[in-house]
Amino acid sequence: MPGLSPPVQQAEAQSVMATSQLIIALSAGAGPGTLEGVVFGGPTITPACTAPVMNPPPLPSGHYFQIGYNWPAPPPGPGTKATFTVSTFYDSACAHPLHAYSFLIVKGSATTLSATGSETAYTATGAVTGYRTYDISDIITGTASNYVLRTTTASGLPPVAPTSSFGLVCLYTAGSAENCGYAAVQNTSSLGIPLALTMNYTGLNPPGVTTPSRGTVGMQAFTGAVGSMGFVFGSTPGTWTITGGTQIASDTGTYSFTVDTNGDILASSTSLNDPGNDAAPSFTEDSAGNFNGLVRQISTGAVPSLFTTDNAGNGTIIYTGAPIAPITGFLVQ
């Protein structure tokens, strides 16, 4: 891999390929309906400790939870604000939090919505293990929607510096092809390499219940000093561009997925090809949200690495000639 030195060159290449596949999973459940479907027109609900009779994202199964929200009565005018909170707990008394989510949602105009929020993760004894911020916007014009999500993730509460950041931008037009772009910057990894990646999907046809959505994929990967890389909107609508760093991989390929009658993904697959690194990574997701992938060497057909995660993004990657590394929140550590 250009710019990276032996003997860990192979593992570095594999980490880049695996991470490029996993960043798509970071946006699972995000889409233009995320804000439009839940924001306004509901009652005020005071949180109550509730047994988990269902598993709506992002609630993990097997835990007790509280949901609270305060929606203004419809019709909402410009500047109308709403709040939404979700907390999950280790115990039935809801005394020991596992995750806490909080969002402020604002209607900017008749066609715009935005939200800011945060997520805090805790151990059973109350220690903070992670903190994530959310910045979301949705602009709706006629039958089209421009949806943007940005997040940052840190190992603790501010002022702890973020270890990673993520971006999603999607242009949806009813009955037309869609463009979606993903970007991620990861400042820490088990290999000690800061990575930045983009995956831009173009020409996605809207899926039917029996008709897969298919499109083309372009992935670029970069490395650089910690804090030196970021991402901005690309010149093509619905894409991202990495700023800073040195490019170390450039892949092209295809993507497809199928959905059920509720719009939930039944299965998806991504296949990429990177002749410059003699690598062909591929990636699948099943209906339970579990992910499996591999990196294949083009010239020999050998498989130098395998990776897998559960629906929370936690799993492992197995390298050739390097230790097994954990994957946490869909990012190779």
Partners of 292 in the β-ladder: 284, 308
For the stretch 91-101, pLDDT in tens is: 777 788 888 88
Place of tokens 């990495």: 242
User: In this model, does residue 232 exceed pLDDT 70?
Assistant: yes
90-94, 159-163, 232-236: range with highest mean pLDDT: 232-236
Closest CA to 73 of 108, 46, 45, 43: 43
Residue 13 confidence (pLDDT): 61
Element (H, E) at 34: helix 33-36
- Mean pLDDT across 60-73: 63
| Domains of the chain, residue spans | 9-332
Give Cα separations from 159 to 88, 101, 166, 262 (angstroms): 24, 19, 19, 41
pLDDT on residue 206: 60
pLDDT at residue 188, rounded to an integer: 65
pLDDT of residue 252: 92
| Of 12, 6, 15, 28, nearest in space to 306 by CA | 15
pLDDT tier for residue 262 given thresholds of 50, 70 and 90: low
| 3-state secondary structure (DSSP) of residue 277 | helix
CB 308 within 8 A of CB 332: no
Question: What pLDDT, in 10s, does the model give residues 318-329?
Answer: 877 667 888 876
Give the helix/strand (H/E) hosting 97. Answer: strand 97-109
Give phi and psi for 152, each to the nearest 5. -130, 145
pLDDT tens per residue across span 169-224: 888 776 666 788 888 888 765 556 788 888 888 776 665 545 667 788 888 888 88
DSSP-assigned beta bridge partners for residue 169: 148, 181
Structure tokens belonging to residue 3: 């710019």
Q: Categorize the per-residue pLDDT at 32 as very low, low, confident or very high, splitting at 50, 70 and 90.
A: very low
* Strand partners for 117: 103, 134
Lowest mean pLDDT among 162-166, 257-261, 306-310, 324-328: 257-261
Rounded Cα distance, 187 and 19, in Å: 12
| Least confident range of 99-103, 137-141, 223-227 | 137-141
With b for 16 or more beta-carbon neighbours within 10 A and e for fewer, the 173-197 pattern comes to eeeeebbbbbbbbbbbbbbebbbbb
Question: Token digits for 158?
Answer: 């501010």
Per-residue pLDDT for 57 more than 60? no
- Average pLDDT of the chain? 74
Lowest mean pLDDT: which of 37-46, 138-147, 168-177, 312-321?
A: 37-46
The confidence score (pLDDT) of residue 7 equals 29
Query: What's the CA gap between 46 and 67, in Å, rounded?
Result: 8
Distance CA 295, CA 13 (A): 9
Write the pLDDT tens digit of every residue in 187-197.
Answer: 765 556 788 88
Residue 221 confidence (pLDDT): 86
**Percent of the chain beyond pLDDT 70?**
67
Distance, in Å, from the CA atom of 87 to the CA atom of 85, rounded to the nearest integer, reads 7
Radius of gyration, alpha carbons of the chain: 20
**pLDDT reported for residue 5:** 32
Beta strands in 176-245 (DSSP E): 178-186, 195-204, 213-223, 230-233, 240-243
Region 222-228: mean pLDDT is 86
- pTM, two decimals, is 0.74
Q: What is the mean pLDDT of residues 139-158?
A: 80
Q: Which residue has the tokens 């270890």?
A: 163
What is residue 242's predicted lDDT score, i.e. its pLDDT? 92
Partners of 121 in beta bridges: 99, 130
pLDDT of residue 205: 63
